Structure 1
Amino acid sequence: MAQHVRDIMTAASVSVGPHTSVAEVARVMRDRDLGAVLVTDGDRLRGLVTDRDLVVRSVAQGVDTEETTVAGACSEDLVTVAPDDALDHAVRLMREHAVRRVPVVERGHAVGVVTLGDAAMERDPESALGDISVARPNA
């Protein structure tokens, strides 16, 4: 039986608006123990921002993180999948586009995120990537 994205995705409970400051997004990530959040404008998915995006596109540029919005740090050219897409399709897209996280979109609305770690855990929980994906982060 083929697995679907819906079976392993993380529900999109955390999103921020494009005008949210980089510093506030970083605090949300820290407080919720997240490596990425969706950037939405109303119901529309605008992008995805990772902790690495915040560092490379904002902090390393020397911007004022309290004044700079996440709109400039997020990836807007997104690859997305639907909840009912096959998991193999999502993994293939991650490989082709060299991304670790893919937003899950249903009827034009972001409903979750599927990650390379999710797929690794589902396929082989004993793998090195599976072990890393479930490990507690270094504080």
Structure 2
Amino acid sequence: MHVEDVMHDVEIIDENADIKAAADLMAKKQIGSLVVVGRGRVVGIVTERDFLECFARFGKGSKKLKVKDIMSKNVITITPDALLEDAAALMAKHKVKRLPVVKDGLLVGIITASDVIANAKSIGELSLF
């Protein structure tokens, strides 16, 4: 099974958006992350964990921050034609739960650890499930 078979639509936000807008969008869409874009390309990802760390560190001062101030900048991506086991391996290697899916430089979706687990039957060594 390939990434494109289980990936889903991705929500994006501009790196210069304030963090309240990002939090509101995540709450409205009931999602745990947003892919951050700047100048037409993926520049980061912001997750629930980033918000928790931000609030713990800055408290009320966090209101002044932009998404680019709290996002994770080293984004690991994957292509839609990659195998699901490749996605699992990347997530494990880099200790991430989400991979933006990029084709020809364009963001086309996202795959999460939950997506991989839900489709574990199709992954060779995980076929014991």
Pairwise TM-score range, normalised by the shorter structure: 0.7 to 0.9
Whichever residue aligns with residue 7 of structure 2, its letter is M
Q: Which residue type is aligned with residue 9 of structure 1?
A: M
Per the TM alignment, residue 69 of structure 1 is displaced from its structure 2 partner at its CA by 0.1
Structure 2 unmatched ranges of 5 or more: 122-129
**Alpha-carbon shift at residue 38 of structure 1 (Å):** 0.5
Question: 1:50: how far off?
Answer: 0.4
* CA drift at 1:103: 0.8
CA deviation string 1:20-49 (max 9, x = no partner): 111111111111101001001142001111
Q: CA deviation at 1:76?
A: 1.0
User: Structure 1: any 5+ residue segments left out of the alignment?
Assistant: 125-139
The amino acid across from 1:105 in the alignment is V
Residue 55 of structure 2 is aligned to residue 59 of structure 1: yes
Instruction: Please state if 1:38 is matched with 2:35.
Output: yes
Which residue of 18, 22, 29 corresponds with 1:21? 18
Aligned twin of 1:6: 4
Kindly indicate whether the alpha-carbon contact (under 8 Å) linking 1:4 and 1:84 is maintained by their aligned counterparts in 2. Answer: yes
Q: CA RMSD in A?
A: 1.2
Q: Which has the higher helix share?
A: 2
Q: Distance in 2 between matches of 1:31 and 1:42?
A: 25
Count of residues in correspondence between the two structures: 120
After TM superposition, give the deviation of residue 67 of structure 1 in Å.
Answer: 2.1
- Matches for 1:36-115 after TM superposition, within 5 Å: 36-56=33-53, 58-62=54-58, 64-115=61-112
Note the alpha carbon deviations across 1:112-133, whole angstroms, 9 max, x for none: 1111100111125xxxxxxxxx
Superposition TM-score, scaled by structure 1 size: 0.81
TM-score by length of 2: 0.87
Q: Which amino acid aligns with 1:65?
A: S
Counterpart amino acid of residue 79 in structure 1: I
Shift of 1:72: 1.3
Q: For the Cα contact (< 8 Å) 1:21–1:65, is it kept in 2?
A: no
Residues 23 and 65 in structure 1, CA contact (< 8 A), matched pair in contact too: no
Match for 1:41: what amino acid? Answer: G
